[in-house]
Amino acid sequence: MKERAAKERIEKLKEEINEHNHRYYVLNDPVISDFRYDILLKELTQLEDKYPDLSTPDSPTRRVGSDITKEFKQVKHRYPMLSLANTYSEEEIKDFHHRVSRLVGREPEYVCELKYDGASISLSYRDGVLESAVTRGDGEVGDEVTNNIRTIRSIPLKLRQGDYPGEFIIRGEIILPLDGFRKLNEELEKNGEQPFANPRNTAAGTIKMQDPSIVAGRPLDCLLYYLLGEDLPFDTHYENLKLTRKWGFKVPAEIKLCQGIEEVIAYINYWEAERKNLPYEIDGVVIKVNSIDEQKKLGFTSKSPRWAIAYKFKAEQAVTKLLKVTFQVGRTGTVTPVANLEPVLLAGTTVKRASLHNEAQIELLNLHINDTVYIEKGGEIIPKIVGVELKDRSKNASPVEFISHCPECHSALRKLPGEANHYCPNIYKCSPQIKGRIEHFISRKAMDIDGLGGETTDLLFREGLINNVSDLYKLKKESIIKLERMGDKSAENIISGIENSKSAAFNRVIYALGIRYVGETVARTLASRFKSIDELSTASFDRLVSIPEIGEKIAGSIINYFKSPNNRQVIESLREAGINMKAGSDTDTVSNVLEGKSIVISGVFEKYNREEYKEIIQRYGGKNVSSVSSNTSFLLAGESAGPSKLQKAEKLGIEVVGEKEFLDMLNKE
């Protein structure tokens, strides 16, 4: 392609991708499949790689940036980033209203907004292009975190059509929606890492990370609440905010124009009760005077605007008694203390246990057995202890002590310098670690072995039939049948589930090994960079850390894993059993939904052409074959599909799948 043609195509692609980003991340209304989107993005990346001069900072490809910033540049805010006066009382909201009314000489109109619980950010735009993103810092000077912020898909890098000022600043909150927070923590816990305490800290910590590719992997969002500049389009805050939606910003639909303080109070009461149904956390409501003239009249104190106030919700708390602390050992050996509580009702559920994270947390709370404790529920699944009622503590109460030996195998626990967790070093003999590794190996996202659940694994382990993951492949139906309550059919299912797992893709095998810190995503990356387990197991530390997404901690853990003779033995046995230890020819797999499927294509299609469907099949882990046989999994048939193929499929009882049905199949995972 000539440079001029490339330039035109790049512009067209950028526009198209930006539109899809907006529809997906801001409007929640995508019109194309993820696959189609990937194809567009890939084409743009390839063109920009070929013509680096045509690559501009507003390109959507810049969202996955990997420039590592060692220290952030300090930037002075053009307008200081002030905080808000806070109150927990309705009376004080009324006082605010009287004060404001007196100063402006009338009862003003208010805009009520939710108080999003995240980290504030100030975005500068020039000629419609995101120029910089700066954190609040001390309110005067903040950190420039533009490369990280670029990865947040709901923030426009280039504004959509609209009459925006040449220069303006827009401020908002970077948040991590609850769903994303839970998934992130599940992943961390599974990989033996410390989970995050709450979505706010996670969001704030993430935007200050040194490596934007890690930021890009976390589903952050940005909700905007304040437009600033010299010549703003409207003279009310509400109209301005609404207008910014047209430029591409995400301004939540919950903002409301209120006449009179009673409407404001009703808004507060409504959201205090309803907040549990929002997809993200809020910690209150913000009330702002709508007219910008009136805002100017009211001005600022040294800390906050006089034209706004925050009504903060009290976190839902309950009081109960700490009965005892027990200790759990995970599959990676990490020992986690768990508070066992007298059952108590909190935010609609009965709570019996609270997480205590680690020894430092216990010390910080200065916990004693039988203490009266306050518990709170944040975004976390398990509630946490936030305080102790000291006056209720009896004189001879004994402090909670962290154990020195593993509760399961009695080995002396270890704690590495700089790490918060204790762990049991008896990796190969401590039962919960052995069982945990086997359970992880067979889990859905790993080898996905049908028919084997936690209970059966436990039984097989107790009966001495399995002691590590490679023993699974030595199991015989006759020995499984002998287990308690095991029928012939179930035993058969287990054997065939184990047999089928032999064809699992290489990335799943890597994930299944249960290497500390190697989650699903990292496993995919490794499978795309290394051709085989041999190449991975001999990779140097330097080679590993040169891969984006692989930091020193992960690299160290991989090296450590392969150093162990025990692990190497397990890998050898797995290889002998026929487990796939090599990457496929196409390392660009996006998912495994079509894994093990041989698919014949016939006819004309609406959404993609046949060549594209061939690529799709490959990228989703399947195999495209040319003729229908008894080994064919299904026939993907479009308009005027070949009659002989259809007939043969019918004769052999092979399923015929239409285009829509096929695309639905891909989106299922």
Could you say whether residue 634 binds ligand IVH (CB under 6 A)?
Answer: no
Among 195, 201, 200, CA closest to 183 = 195
- Pick 173 or 380: Cβ nearer ligand IVH: 173
Rounded to a whole number of angstroms, the minimum distance from the CB of residue 6 to ligand IVH is 42
| Nearest residue to ligand IVH on Cβ basis | 120
**b vs e for 249-271, b when ≥16 Cβ sit within 10 Å of the residue's Cβ?**
bbbbebbbebeebeebbebbeeb
The set of residues, in sequence order, having a beta carbon less than 8 Å from that of 615 and lying 6+ positions away, is none
Could you say whether residue 84 binds ligand IVH (CB under 6 A)?
Answer: yes
Could you say whether residue 298 binds ligand IVH (CB under 6 A)?
Answer: no
Rounded to a whole number of angstroms, the minimum distance from the CB of residue 255 to ligand IVH is 8
For the chain, report the end-to-end CA distance as a whole number of angstroms: 37
In the set 115, 158, 288, 648, the catalytic residue is 115
- Pick 120 or 624: Cβ nearer ligand IVH: 120
DSSP state of 547: S
The residue range among 77-85, 240-248, 361-369, 409-417 that interacts with ligand IVH, by the rule CB under 6 A, is 77-85
Could you say whether residue 296 binds ligand IVH (CB under 6 A)?
Answer: no
DSSP state of 532: B
Task: Extract the tokens encoding 36.
Answer: 């189609």
Rounded to a whole number of angstroms, the minimum distance from the CB of residue 302 to ligand IVH is 13
Rounded to a whole number of angstroms, the minimum distance from the CB of residue 164 to ligand IVH is 20
Distance CA 179, CA 201 (A): 15
Rounded to a whole number of angstroms, the minimum distance from the CB of residue 389 to ligand IVH is 29
User: Can you tell me which of 25, 116, 247, 423 binds ligand IVH, judged by CB under 6 A?
Assistant: 116
Classify the phi-psi angles of 561: left when phi > 0, otherwise alpha if psi is within -120 to 50, otherwise beta.
Answer: alpha
Query: What values do phi and psi take at 332, rounded to 5?
Result: -95, 10
Contact indicator for 257, 238 with CB cutoff of 8 Å: yes
- Pick 223 or 354: Cβ nearer ligand IVH: 223
Rounded to a whole number of angstroms, the minimum distance from the CB of residue 333 to ligand IVH is 40
Secondary structure of 460-477 as H, E, C letters = HHHCCCCCCHHHHHHCCH
User: Can you tell me which of 74, 83, 269, 479 binds ligand IVH, judged by CB under 6 A?
Assistant: 83
Give the number of other CB atoms < 10 A from CB of residue 389: 12
- Pick 286 or 583: Cβ nearer ligand IVH: 286
- Compute the radius of gyration of the chain from its Cα atoms: 29
Distance CA 141, CA 80 (A): 8
Hey, which residues does 341 pair with through a beta bridge? 322
Contacts with ligand IVH, 151-190, as mask; x by CB under 6 A: ----------------------x-----------------
109-116 β-sheet, strand order: 86-87, 308-312, 282-289, 109-116, 256-259
Rounded to a whole number of angstroms, the minimum distance from the CB of residue 101 to ligand IVH is 20
Maximum distance among all alpha carbons in the chain? 89
User: Can you tell me which of 310, 356, 373, 663 binds ligand IVH, judged by CB under 6 A?
Assistant: 310
Instruction: Give the three-state DSSP class for 365.
Output: helix
Rounded to a whole number of angstroms, the minimum distance from the CB of residue 82 to ligand IVH is 5
Could you say whether residue 226 binds ligand IVH (CB under 6 A)?
Answer: yes
Our measurement of the distance from residue 413's CA atom to the centroid of its chain's CA atoms, rounded to an integer in Å, reads 31
The residue range among 109-117, 329-337, 392-400, 469-477 that interacts with ligand IVH, by the rule CB under 6 A, is 109-117
The residue range among 57-65, 81-89, 466-474, 570-578 that interacts with ligand IVH, by the rule CB under 6 A, is 81-89
Contacts with ligand IVH, 260-289, as mask; x by CB under 6 A: --------------------------x---
Distance CA 89, CA 94 (A): 9
- Pick 234 or 428: Cβ nearer ligand IVH: 234
Hey, which residues does 368 pair with through a beta bridge? 399
The residue range among 80-88, 200-208, 481-489, 595-603 that interacts with ligand IVH, by the rule CB under 6 A, is 80-88
The set of residues, in sequence order, having a beta carbon less than 8 Å from that of 300 and lying 6+ positions away, is 82, 306
The residue range among 104-112, 114-122, 347-355, 527-535 that interacts with ligand IVH, by the rule CB under 6 A, is 114-122
Could you say whether residue 113 binds ligand IVH (CB under 6 A)?
Answer: yes
For CA atoms 202, 207, 211, 215, the dihedral sign is positive
Rounded to a whole number of angstroms, the minimum distance from the CB of residue 412 to ligand IVH is 46
Binding residues for ligand IVH, rule CB under 6 A, total 15
Task: Extract the tokens encoding 123.
Answer: 């975005």
β-strand pairing of 422-423 with 414-415: antiparallel
Contact indicator for 77, 142 with CB cutoff of 8 Å: yes
The residue range among 155-163, 203-211, 305-313, 328-336 that interacts with ligand IVH, by the rule CB under 6 A, is 305-313
Contacts with ligand IVH, 119-158, as mask; x by CB under 6 A: -x---------------x----------------------
Beta strands in 273-397, from DSSP E residues, in sequence order: 282-289, 308-312, 317-329, 334-346, 349-355, 372-376, 384-388
Instruction: Give the three-state DSSP class for 168.
Output: strand
User: Can you tell me which of 305, 379, 432, 436 binds ligand IVH, judged by CB under 6 A?
Assistant: 305
User: Can you tell me which of 6, 39, 40, 82 binds ligand IVH, judged by CB under 6 A?
Assistant: 82
The residue range among 87-95, 110-118, 342-350, 491-499 that interacts with ligand IVH, by the rule CB under 6 A, is 110-118
Beta strands in 72-146, from DSSP E residues, in sequence order: 73-76, 86-87, 109-116, 119-126, 129-135, 141-144
Give the number of other CB atoms < 10 A from CB of residue 643: 9
Say whether 158 is catalytic: no
Rounded to a whole number of angstroms, the minimum distance from the CB of residue 84 to ligand IVH is 4
User: Can you tell me which of 62, 77, 115, 377 binds ligand IVH, judged by CB under 6 A?
Assistant: 115
The residue range among 115-123, 358-366, 408-416, 508-516 that interacts with ligand IVH, by the rule CB under 6 A, is 115-123
Contact indicator for 562, 568 with CB cutoff of 8 Å: yes
Rounded to a whole number of angstroms, the minimum distance from the CB of residue 136 to ligand IVH is 6
Give the number of other CB atoms < 10 A from CB of residue 639: 10
The residues that are catalytic are 115
- List interacting residues with ligand IVH (CB under 6 A): 82-84, 113, 115-116, 120, 136, 173, 225-226, 286, 305, 308, 310
